[in-house]
Amino acid sequence: MTDTDWPLWEVFVRSRRGLSHTHAGSLHAPDAELALRNARDLYTRRGEGVSIWVVPSAAITASSPDEKDPFFAPSADKPYRHPTFYEIPEGVKHL
């Protein structure tokens, strides 16, 4: 098996406790363990992370940007789901 036959993995890194994981990039690896080790070496070289997720790209299902209007239209009639009606206390961070 060559590295071009290896599956593609998406890498998500959490930089600090309390923050969300963000997409850092992609890499090819033969299995999850090696993908995790390679992601650590590639995306957290300077100690920027506290947690890493690797997910096979084939396992991700995403909406199409071309379908943005019809796909997200149902959420427009539910304004109560948006935090505009709530006051956030000053001491709350990362909300």
Rounded to an integer, what distance in angstroms lies between the CA atom of residue 95 and that of residue 89?
10
Give the residue extent of every domain in the chain: 8-67
Exposed, middle or buried: residue 84 (CB in 10 Å: 0-12, 13-18, 19+)? Answer: exposed
Domain 8-67: state its class. Answer: alpha beta
Question: For 22-41, how does the pLDDT look when each residue is reduced to its tens digit (9 = 90+)?
Answer: 999 999 999 999 999 999 99
What is the reported pLDDT for 3? 57
* CA 45 and chain centroid, separation: 19
Residue entry with tokens 């406790």: 17
Q: Taking the complete model, does pTM exceed 0.75, yes or no?
A: no
SS3 95: coil
Residue 16 has pLDDT above 90, yes or no: no
Residue 42 has pLDDT above 60, yes or no: yes
Question: For 44-92, how does the pLDDT look when each residue is reduced to its tens digit (9 = 90+)?
Answer: 988 778 999 999 999 999 888 887 777 767 665 666 666 676 777 888 8
Q: Are 21 and 61 in contact (CB under 8 A)?
A: no
